[in-house]
Amino acid sequence: MENRPKTTVILAMTADGKIADFQRNAARFSSDIDQNHLEKQISLVDGVLFGAGTLKAFGTTIMVKDSEFLAHRKQNNQPSQPIHIVVSASGNIDDNLRFFSQPVPHWLMTTEKSTDNKTSKFEKVLTCAEIEAGKINLVEGFKTLKELGLNHLAIIGGGKLVANCLEQNLIDEFWLTICPYILGGKTAPTPVEGMGFLSSHAQKLELLSLEQIEQEIFLHYKVLSV
């Protein structure tokens, strides 16, 4: 981990393991308690990563607004908001999204081939090589983020980005909130998509904590080295 930031995936999912419905609409099933938990975790990091699909679904990102969280960042000499980084191989992001009017740093991580598609609304664009068509070399990208002073990243979706990070051994921890809903649907997205892993090569986790608050369960896992 010396050459990259620490990474924490933070996701809410239904009891049947879905992070959105089969139409990939923005997930709105988590409680205010979970939203506060998400904001707290984001307040602890230097950067927030999310895929273009997640941005398209929500149109916005999660900002730190709680006065206690803001005070803690100030005490640690951190800016009020972490850097928000969209990960997109194509770099083709709608520049009319409300995200671009939110007072956060807007960065893009994309590929060298996407130069003609990028909106000019990103303050910084990081270009990386492709491992294969449509898959960014995240090892290279995370190394650059570390060199730029980002020591801890939150990854908030979607499942394709999380899968790519896992495949490239770039995930350290998971925070998963289980919410009391069932969405179903074989095409509904899950926390980890991609091709998947054979059971003999399943990624192993160590449970660090488990807490029930009202109807939701908060699971904190450490990803064990492969």
Q: Which residues fall within 8 angstroms of residue 182, CB to CB, at 6 or more apart?
A: 14, 15, 16
pLDDT digits (tens, 9 = 90+) for 158-211: 899 999 999 999 999 999 999 999 999 999 999 999 888 888 888 999 999 999
Give the integer Cα–Cα distance in Å for 129 and 212. Answer: 42
Note if the pTM is more than 0.85.
yes
What are the extents of the domains in the chain? 6-223
DSSP-assigned beta bridge partners for residue 111: 128
> Where are the extended beta strands (E) located within 35-171?
47-51, 83-87, 106-111, 124-128, 130-132, 135-136, 152-155
pLDDT digits (tens, 9 = 90+) for 156-167: 988 999 999 999
User: Which CATH homologous superfamily contains domain 6-223?
Assistant: Dihydrofolate Reductase, subunit A (3.40.430.10)
Count other Cβ atoms within 10 Å, centred on residue 118.
Answer: 18
What's the pLDDT score for residue 131? 84
Q: Which of 167, 214, 199 is nearest to 34 (CA)?
A: 214
* 170-104-40 Cα angle (round to 5): 60
Query: What integer is the mean pLDDT of 37-57?
Result: 96
pLDDT digits (tens, 9 = 90+) for 83-111: 999 999 988 899 899 999 999 999 999 99
Rounding to the nearest 10 degrees, give the CA dihedral for residues 56, 60, 61, 66: -160
| CA diameter of the chain | 49
Distances (CA, A) of 101 to 73, 78, 106, 112: 22, 21, 10, 26
What's the pLDDT score for residue 31? 94
